[in-house]
Structure 1
Amino acid sequence: MHSIQDDAGTVYGGLGHLLLEFYQSKQLPIPEKLLSIQEVERFDFSLWRDLLIQLQQKLQTPALGLEIANFVQPRHLGIMAYLVLSCETLGEALMRYHDYHRLVYDGSPLEVRVENDVLSIAWAEIPFNLMTQLTDEVAMALMLKILRSLMAIDDIHLHEVHFKYPANKYINLYEQYFQCKVRFNQSQSIIFLHVSELAKPLRQGDQTLQKLLKQQAEALLEKLPNTSQADQRIQQAILAGLQKNMFQIEHIAQQLHWSVRQLQRHLQKQGKTYQQRMQEIRFMLAQQYLKDENLSLHEISLLLGYSEQSAFQRAFKQWSSETPQQWRSNYLENKTQEKTLDHPIEENLNPQYQI
């Protein structure tokens, strides 16, 4: 039988990092429970709720969730944020946020509806005992903060924001943050915006995503030093396509301003199909991602365009005859051995630190 805690789900470990950085900015004593989750991939929503309430009791700050959200960076939301970073319009970013929201909080889905040219994003119900104004306002403010940071020219103009909790005397703080009418005592916590907002462009060339793509591209080019300019363009198009989960041959051909047949003929001259070329790139990317211990196998699966981790694991075993876990373990072991060989004198000078 599931408990209330089981039904509430879990949150991404990066939210624990976010809260730790907020504590440090305020120079507050850090709770032991918060320190204990700094190395975990996910933790219980009930613990997230308790940590937020504990912080609120310490500070007695109105609209605390909005203040916490001002500290958010893509790394705090994990791979979902990087997928959002790769989008070209607000509408596409919201679609990615909706599709991958469970990577940040898997307790309840986002409900998106369109009525009379107004789009609503509602936070579905969670067990009553775990509902708080603070958890809702953090969730809503985090999403808005990330999206606003990506806008190319104009800001996001919200229509209204609803909270299901009783009104307080600090409504002006909420309306300043959301820059729209904020209503309390509503049936659900919802953000409303006009459908016309969805066409607004996001800022291109985000440095975080650009760095990631650049590292991937350089790794690919190092392995293929004799590739032509056309091959480099194909690689870049597939890289970007995987980031956006739009890597079908039709989409890649469109990005290159080629027909599908032209792309197929180019690859045939090299004795390859499009599927084979994409899998080569996926394999090289997978190796790059596995070197990063902060990325889980689930996150790597999504980065490579797989809907299920098991599909990625099967593919990797075919590519390398090893599972992703085995490949990562071997890589980390070799890396440790190389470090030991590189610094034998330092270890001898500091015997008290040897294990």
Structure 2
Amino acid sequence: MKSFLKIKSVRSSLTLLLDDFCKIKGLSSSQHSVYTLNDHITFGEWLKKIQRINDQHPIEGLGLEIGALVQPNHIGIVAYIAQSCNTLSDYIDTLSKYEKLWFNYNPKKIHFGENLFSISWDKPAYLQAGLYVEETSIVEEMQVSIIYHHLKQLVDSEENFFHRVELAIPEPVNIDKYTALFNCPVYFNADKTKIILPKSLLETKLKCYDPALLEILSEHANILLQKMPKYDSFIELVNLSTIQAMENNNVQINFVAKVLNTTPRMLQRDLKNRGITFKIILNNVRKNFAKKHLRNENLSITEIAFLLAYKDQTSFNRAFKSWTGLTPSDWRKQYNSDKMNKYC
């Protein structure tokens, strides 16, 4: 799960979008570094910048407001390629091919139906462990808002773009802000974030079609794409399968291998080739979930040990102390003390 936060990234120019929002709202800027044109920052660093803004300006729909300020320079070369495309269909192809140059998150999937098509992406494994929950909700809102406003910039049309939006975030108290922006039904607590659009929009002409510029920009984007670090989605799948194994109280490698439709020997070999072991992945999953559960005062240490698929509390205590240097009880006391001091 941590590998996702270290290897996945966003284009550094998106921090300028956060900076612009801070200036408008009179907030302390999230921008502290000078980046070159094609720099990226890790996803973990990006989430911390979002966290800092949310601490100062905690409102529902924060991501919608940040995304509404998007301009082509925030997205970079992908936006300029999109501007040079002929139709919205070309733009969708560009989004699929080059998205990681500006937002290297979970890959977007395009599905075409009879009358509708959709753009969707999965939730990352770290979210299930309770990491960066609020910040990720803001990022989900921001992505959908950026796509919406970027489409508006590309097309001269008053026609509704979105048919329906499904957000993989908790339902807010007031959903009017969401439905008013997208002018369509918006659903929450979805398994994945999904934007559904009318298929008829695909033939919509874009207003700045330039085939010569499109070719030049695409060639440059292909070069940049080759330089991007490769993220191995296999590790993310093993993380997700290990979480499933823990929830089934069976954290044996045999169970995880079966979920992944492979054998324990092949799974061990594939992990070894990537410089990691199943034991390390299992410990990371357990450690993240242990901290999540310890924040919940309604759960006893014994109950947490059971949720993490340990045979007994003693085994959990021993493992947790090896990770943090503290017993689960001491870690919980320290967490509660730090939380109290923060709000005093």
TM-score range, shorter chain: 0.5 to 0.7
Aligned runs of 1:180-195 on 2, under 5 Å?
Answer: 180-195=184-199
Query: Does the CA-based 8 Å contact 2:121-2:192 persist in structure 1?
Result: yes
Matches of 1:48 and 1:124, distance apart in 2:
18
Relative to 1, partners in 2 of residues 1:113 and 1:20: Cα closer, same or farther, differing over 3 Å?
same
Matches of 1:306 and 1:55, distance apart in 2:
30
Residue in 2 that maps onto 1:302: 221
**Are 1:164 and 2:168 matched, yes or no?**
yes
- SS of the counterpart of 2:104? coil
Aligned identity (percent) is 24
Aligned runs of 1:132-143 on 2, under 5 Å?
Answer: 132-143=136-147
Residue in 1 that maps onto 2:116: 118
**Are 1:12 and 2:29 matched, yes or no?**
no
The CA deviation string for residues 192-245 of structure 1, in whole angstroms up to 9 with x for no partner, is: 01211111122237xxxx8xxxxxxxxxxxxxxxxxxxxxxxxxx6x3451474
The CA deviation string for residues 244-288 of structure 1, in whole angstroms up to 9 with x for no partner, is: 74xxxxxxxxxxxxxxxxxxxxxxxxxxxxxxxxxxxxxxxxxxx
Matches of 1:200 and 1:111, distance apart in 2:
21
Residue in 2 that maps onto 1:36: 33
> 1:67 Cα shift?
0.8
Could you say what the CA RMSD is over the residues aligned between the two structures, in angstroms? 2.6
**Are 1:178 and 2:179 matched, yes or no?**
no
Residue in 2 that maps onto 1:27: 26
Relative to 1, partners in 2 of residues 1:4 and 1:117: Cα closer, same or farther, differing over 3 Å?
same
Per mean C-alpha deviation after superposition, the further-off stretch among 162-171 and 9-18 is: 162-171
Structure 1, unmatched stretches of 5+, are: 211-236, 246-299, 311-355
Relative to 1, partners in 2 of residues 1:38 and 1:306: Cα closer, same or farther, differing over 3 Å?
closer
- SS of the counterpart of 2:32? helix
Query: Does the CA-based 8 Å contact 1:86-1:243 persist in structure 2?
Result: no
Residue in 1 that maps onto 2:67: 69
Matches of 2:9 and 2:194, distance apart in 1:
21
Query: Does the CA-based 8 Å contact 1:165-1:184 persist in structure 2?
Result: yes
Query: Does the CA-based 8 Å contact 2:6-2:43 persist in structure 1?
Result: no
Residue in 2 that maps onto 1:109: 107
Matches of 1:177 and 1:53, distance apart in 2:
23
**Are 1:85 and 2:83 matched, yes or no?**
yes
> 1:54 Cα shift?
1.9
The CA deviation string for residues 291-330 of structure 1, in whole angstroms up to 9 with x for no partner, is: xxxxxxxxx7327x897469xxxxxxxxxxxxxxxxxxxx
Query: Does the CA-based 8 Å contact 1:153-1:201 persist in structure 2?
Result: no
The CA deviation string for residues 29-66 of structure 1, in whole angstroms up to 9 with x for no partner, is: 224xx312545711011111121122122112221111
Matches of 1:102 and 1:25, distance apart in 2:
28
Bigger RCO (CA 8 Å, 6+ sep): 2
- One-letter identity of the residue aligned with 2:55: Q
What's the TM-score once normalised by structure 1's chain length?
Answer: 0.57
> 1:95 Cα shift?
1.4
The CA deviation string for residues 96-119 of structure 1, in whole angstroms up to 9 with x for no partner, is: 111110101223210111233221
Matches of 1:77 and 1:181, distance apart in 2:
27
> 1:17 Cα shift?
1.1
Relative to 1, partners in 2 of residues 1:75 and 1:168: Cα closer, same or farther, differing over 3 Å?
same
Relative to 1, partners in 2 of residues 1:166 and 1:27: Cα closer, same or farther, differing over 3 Å?
closer
Matches of 1:61 and 1:125, distance apart in 2:
22
Query: Does the CA-based 8 Å contact 2:162-2:196 persist in structure 1?
Result: yes
Matches of 2:97 and 2:162, distance apart in 1:
21
- SS of the counterpart of 1:66? helix
Relative to 1, partners in 2 of residues 1:241 and 1:186: Cα closer, same or farther, differing over 3 Å?
closer
Relative to 1, partners in 2 of residues 1:56 and 1:99: Cα closer, same or farther, differing over 3 Å?
same
Q: How many equivalent residue pairs?
A: 221
Matches of 1:114 and 1:188, distance apart in 2:
17
Matches of 2:224 and 2:168, distance apart in 1:
37
- One-letter identity of the residue aligned with 2:215: L
**Are 1:147 and 2:151 matched, yes or no?**
yes
Query: Does the CA-based 8 Å contact 2:89-2:202 persist in structure 1?
Result: yes
